[in-house]
Each structure stands twice: as structure tokens, then as C-alpha cells.
């Protein structure tokens, strides 16, 4: 008997079994799709990840048992930013139906990610006659409300207007919309621009790999810190090179940190080895900003690293900061917490509402740079605060946010809706 199949659609960035995180449009969503697919495969499903083929990438790639990436060539051979991919959906559908990889496939469910893939998911689900679950990851309306455009690509006010109109169509035509946090849930159901019926919205947070992100004994943590050469109080942040990530706000807050902790260092693992022109310009502006505010010698710039190495970066850091202007959830913050790192979380995103200030994290508005600097200094200056955030943060992250829990909640919802049968022998209810 063949296992039931799910089609994941995630068209932007460099989707791969081992992606180079930090490359253009290659961040948390790429990790989400890969890890969610692996978790669904552990539950007995076969998962195909449909994405775009460009720059000579192979047509297919095995990720894990039961999970593979299938790439359709469309839109030329060059990288295209996510902001423009929706206009290529007709080419994607043509490529899909001409690709021999998909000729004998019968999917029980389509799961699309981000609005470009959502446009494709709506059309493909209609033609195949299967349910469609859409995960926005980020939302144009929240991005506009937080004025978080200006990233590499075409994120302008006009672009966001078009995007919001397309999102409304996706949300209403999808069978289910998965939000990652309360802010998204409210926006979907309460904002006139979307006005999605509440029964069509399910809130399920992203997860983390608890085999990678976990706390070590302090002696081992200090050994990792020495190996990295982080010989001073270290503040760490990581992610894509994007204005919305708020690295400039973190740099602007750092003079006040250095005033109280003269040897403090800020490590920014941002972007990949390969960068676009816009990303290079942003990196140069961040370095110039650090020089202008007088902390250039306190700021180290490096590139994003793979998940295994990233876990050690979290552990070696004395504080992790998620300082985004707009953040759908904040997976890096959860990963850092799981590693026992005291974590500062932006209130301009989804995660903070699920946490308790002073218990498992500290949260603040990163655009208030004075508040951000005070939040950073608290665990650096007060051992009891650091110990409490480290211990409770790790317990919270690892007890609530694992890919196994996320996959089971997703499948339970699909079973209850009658879209798939619980025939895998895996207990789906908690």
C-alpha cells in the first residue's frame, strides 16, 4: 500500500536538502518547509517539495526518507526575488503539468508557503481537486503597518498594495490558513483587508529541531566560546540581510551597552557568502552606521552558518537578540532559548505574546533603542537574571516548539476536516 502524499509548494530562495542559509530569500521559511516535511514523513506520509529550478540546480533532490525536492524550470535561469515570483505562476503551472516527475502523482493535500506559492496553490488545488492549506509566513498588511518594506527586491508601498489584494484571494479560496502567532490570527480575522472567517484560521507555531538545539553544561559552553574566540561579553543576532530584521536598530542601541559594559561585543551572522547588490549595499550601510555611532570595533560581521554550527553560536553567546521591525514568529529566538541563551524578543512580531517577560525571555520594542540597550544589559550585568532566562527559556522552547508537535497538530486538523485519513499508524491526538 502506497503512503499518502502531500505536496509542499515553496518557490522562493534556494530550497535544498542542506540550504546555504542567509543567501537571498533563504531563511526561516526554507528551514520550516524542510523540517515540517521531514516531520510529516515520520508520521507516514510521502512529501514532495515543489520549488523553482534555476542556476543549474538538479531537477530532484532527496532530503530524507519520504521527502524529496522537485524543481520545475520557469522564469529563466537566474535567481528571482520573492517579490516578483507571483507573476510567473502561469509558467510554474505549465512546467508542473509537463514535468514527468508529477505525471503519476496523486496528492491528498497541497500545503503552500508565502503568497507567491499561495497563488500557485489556489490554482493547482482547483485543477487537481484536492484541499489546499496555506501558510502566509509573513503578511503584506502587517508589513505595511510596521513600515517594514525597503528590503532587497521590490517591497515598495505599491507592491504591498498588490500583494495584500492577492493575499485576500488566497486566504478566502484556501481551505485553511495556518497562522504562526496571535498577531497574524487577529489580522486575518479582524482586518477589513482580509476578513477571513475565523473557522478557516488555525494558529500553529513553527518548531525547532530538538536534536540540534539544546542546552549544554556551562563548562562545555565556555569551551565553545573560547574556540570561537568570543572572549568578551557577547551579544548575538543572526538571519537574512534585510532591513526588516532591524540590525541597524541593534547597532544604534549598542553605544549605551558599551558605556555600561566596555568590552561588550556584538556578533552579527547575517546574509550568505553570495549576496545580491542590494544586500551588499545594506551590509556596507550597517558597517558605516557602526562606525558613525562609535562602536565599529565592538561589532563583528560574519555570514550565516548551518544549523549545527548555529547551535554552538547560540550557546557561546551571552545574549541573543531578535530585533526585527516585523517578524511573523521568530524561529531564531526559539532556537536560542532552547540552547539556554538569554533572549531578547521584539514586540513587533508574533512570538512575544506566547512568552512571559522576565521568566523565559525579555521583550521590548526594538525601535526604542534605549529600552533595547537596557534589555541587553540586564542578563549581562545580573547573573540571577541570566540564570533564570537560561533555564526557563530552554524549558519553554523545548517543551512547546518541536517539529513533531507542529506536524501532529497540523495532521490532527486535517484529519478532523476529513481531508486525509489517519491511516499511518501514528497517534495524532495529544
pLDDT tier at 152, thresholds 50, 70, 90:
very low
Mapped onto helix, strand or coil, the DSSP state of residue 33 is helix
Lay out the sheet containing 60-64: strands in order across.
60-64, 67-73, 46-53, 5-9, 109-113, 132-135, 176-179, 201-203
pLDDT tier at 150, thresholds 50, 70, 90:
low
Same domain, 130 and 227: no
Same domain, 268 and 389: yes
Residue 429 pLDDT = 40
Same domain, 108 and 182: yes
Structural domain that includes position 158: 5-207+402-416
Same domain, 262 and 164: no
For residue 253, being part of any structural domain is answered with yes
For residue 427, being part of any structural domain is answered with no
- In the chain, the number of structural domains is 2
Q: What DSSP line would sit under 332-370, residue for residue?
A: HHHHHHHTT--EEEESSBSGGGGS-BTTTBEEE-TTSHH
Same domain, 173 and 289: no
pTM, rounded to two decimals: 0.89
Same domain, 55 and 9: yes
For residue 273, being part of any structural domain is answered with yes
pLDDT in tens, 93-115: 999 999 888 876 789 999 999 99
The CATH number of the domain holding residue 279 is 3.40.50.2000
Same domain, 66 and 200: yes
Same domain, 244 and 306: yes
- pLDDT of 313 > 60? The answer is yes
For residue 166, being part of any structural domain is answered with yes
pLDDT in tens, 271-290: 888 888 889 999 999 999 99
For residue 212, being part of any structural domain is answered with no
Same domain, 36 and 121: yes
For residue 429, being part of any structural domain is answered with no
Same domain, 268 and 306: yes
Residue 100 pLDDT = 86
**123-145 CB burial, b ≥16 within 10 A, e <16:** bbbeebebbbbbbbbbbbbbbbe
Same domain, 28 and 152: yes
Same domain, 202 and 90: yes
Instruction: Enter the DSSP assignment of 109.
Output: E
pLDDT in tens, 177-219: 999 999 999 999 999 999 999 999 999 999 999 999 999 999 9
- pLDDT of 140 > 70? The answer is yes
Residue 409 pLDDT = 95
For residue 426, being part of any structural domain is answered with no
Averaged pLDDT of the chain: 92
For residue 430, being part of any structural domain is answered with no
Amino acid at each position: 500500500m502506497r503512503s499518502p502524499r502531500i505536496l509542499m509548494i515553496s518557490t522562493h530562495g534556494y530550497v535544498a536538502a542542506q540550504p546555504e542559509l542567509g543567501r537571498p530569500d533563504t531563511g526561516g521559511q526554507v528551514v520550516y518547509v524542510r523540517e515540517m516535511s521531514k516531520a510529516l514523513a515520520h508520521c507516514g506520509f510521502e512529501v514532495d517539495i515543489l520549488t523553482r529550478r534555476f542556476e543549474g540546480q538538479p531537477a530532484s533532490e532527496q532530503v530524507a526518507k519520504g521527502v524529496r525536492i522537485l524543481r520545475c524550470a520557469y522564469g529563466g535561469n537566474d535567481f528571482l526575488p520573492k517579490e516578483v515570483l507571483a507573476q510567473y505562476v502561469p509558467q510554474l503551472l505549465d512546467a508542473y503539468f509537463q514535468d514527468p516527475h508529477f505525471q503519476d502523482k496523486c496528492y491528498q493535500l497541497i500545503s503552500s508557503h508565502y503568497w507567491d506559492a499561495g497563488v500557485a496553490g489556489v490554482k493547482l488545488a482547483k485543477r487537481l481537486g484536492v484541499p489546499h492549506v496555506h501558510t502566509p509566513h509573513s503578511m503584506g498588511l502587517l508589513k505595511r503597518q510596521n513600515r517594514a518594506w525597503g528590503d532587497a527586491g521590490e517591497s515598495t508601498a505599491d507592491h504591498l498594495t498588490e500583494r495584500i489584494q492577492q493575499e485576500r484571494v488566497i486566504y478566502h479560496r484556501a481551505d485553511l490558513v495556518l497562522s504562526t502567532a496571535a498577531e497574524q490570527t487577529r489580522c486575518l480575522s479582524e482586518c477589513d483587508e482580509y476578513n477571513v472567517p475565523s473557522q478557516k484560521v488555525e494558529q500553529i507555531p513553527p518548531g525547532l529541531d530538538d536534536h540540534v538545539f539544546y542546552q549544554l553544561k556551562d563548562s562545555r559552553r565556555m569551551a565553545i566560546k573560547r574556540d570561537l574566540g568570543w572572549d568578551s561579553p557577547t551579544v548575538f543576532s543572526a538571519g537574512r540581510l534585510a532591513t526588516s530584521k532591524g540590525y541597524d536598530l541593534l547597532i544604534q542601541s549598542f553605544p549605551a551597552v558599551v558605556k555600561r559594559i566596555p568590552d561588550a561585543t556584538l556578533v552579527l551572522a547575517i546574509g550568505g557568502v553570495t549576496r545580491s547588490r542590494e544586500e551588499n549595499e545594506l551590509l556596507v550601510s550597517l558597517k558605516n552606521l557602526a562606525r558613525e555611532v562609535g562602536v565599529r570595533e565592538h561589532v563583528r560581521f560574519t555570514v550565516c552558518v548551518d544549523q549545527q554550527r548555529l547551535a554552538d553560536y547560540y550557546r557561546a553567546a551571552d545574549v541573543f537578540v531578535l530585533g526585527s521591525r516585523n517578524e511573523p514568529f521568530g524561529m531564531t529566538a526559539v532556537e536560542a532559548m532552547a540552547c539556554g541563551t538569554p533572549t531578547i524578543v521584539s514586540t513587533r512580531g508574533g512570538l512575544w505574546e506566547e512568552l512571559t517577560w522576565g521568566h523565559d525571555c525579555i521583550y521590548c520594542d526594538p525601535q526604542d533603542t534605549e529600552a533595547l540597550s537596557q534589555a541587553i544589559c540586564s542578563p549581562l550585568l545580573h547573573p540571577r537574571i541570566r540564570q533564570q532566562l537560561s533555564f526557563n527559556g530552554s524549558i519553554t522552547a523545548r517543551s512547546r516548539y518541536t517539529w513533531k508537535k507542529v506536524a501532529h497538530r497540523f495532521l490532527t486538523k486535517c484529519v478532523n476536516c476529513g481531508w486525509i485519513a489517519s491511516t499511518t499508524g501514528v497517534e495524532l491526538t495529544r
